[in-house]
Amino acid sequence: MSDGSGRRALLVVVAVLGAVPVLSGLLGIVVGPEALPGGGPVNATIDSEYRFTNTFWLAAGLLIWWSLRRPDERAAVTRVILAIAALGSIPRLVSVATTGWPNPVFIGALVLELVVVPLVIWWHVRTFGRAPTT
C-alpha cells in the first residue's frame, strides 16, 4: 500500500470510527436508554444522565470528523479522542467484574476499545507523525 493510499485508508477508518459515536450519541439523546440493546424502561434519573452523557459521545464523534478536514494539523485532537475511547474500556471492564457481561453489542465495543482503537492510534502516529506543538 502506497503512502497516499495508506493515508486515505486510515482516514476512512477514522471516519467510520467517528460515525459510531455520532450515530449512537444521537440515538441515545433522541430515544434514550430504551435504544440500548437489551435496554428497557428506566427511572427519570438514569434517563436524564444517559441522554446527557450521550451529548459528549456525540461531540466526540463530531470532533473526530472535524479533525479529518485537516488531519495533519488536528492529529492531536484525533488521538486524544481515540485515546479517551480506548480508556473507556476500563470502566467497561469494571462493569464486567462487578455486574457481569453485557449484551454482545457491548462486548464488541469492548474489543473495539481494547484492540482496534489502540491499533488505529498507532497507525495514525506512523502515518501522520508526532502532532505539532503550539
Question: Is 122 a domain residue?
Answer: yes
Measure the CA–CA gap between 17 and 5, rounded to whole angstroms: 18
CA-derived radius of gyration, the chain: 16
Strands annotated E in 1-134: none
Is position 27 within any domain?
A: yes
**Structural domain for 47, as ranges:** 3-128
pLDDT score at 133 = 57
DSSP run (H or E) holding 71:
none
Q: Is residue 133 part of a domain?
A: no
Q: Average pLDDT over the chain, rounded to whole?
A: 94
Task: Report the number of distinct structural domains present in the chain.
Answer: 1
- Asked if the structure places residue 25 within a domain, the reply is yes
pLDDT at position 9, please? 97
pLDDT tens digits, 58-91: 999 999 999 999 999 999 999 999 999 999 999 9
| Per-residue pLDDT tens digits for 90-113 | 999 999 999 999 999 999 999 999
**pLDDT at residue 14 tops 80:** yes
The CA distance from 27 to 2, in Å, is 38
Cα–Cα distances in angstroms (integers) from residue 79 to residues 55, 60, 94, in the given order: 20, 11, 24
- The per-residue pLDDT for 134 is 52
pLDDT at 10: 98
In a domain, 134, yes or no: no
Cell numbers linked to 16: 467510520
Provide the pLDDT for residue 38. Answer: 85
Say if residue 130's pLDDT is above 90. no
Which DSSP state fits 72?
A: T
Q: Residue 54 pLDDT > 90, yes or no?
A: yes
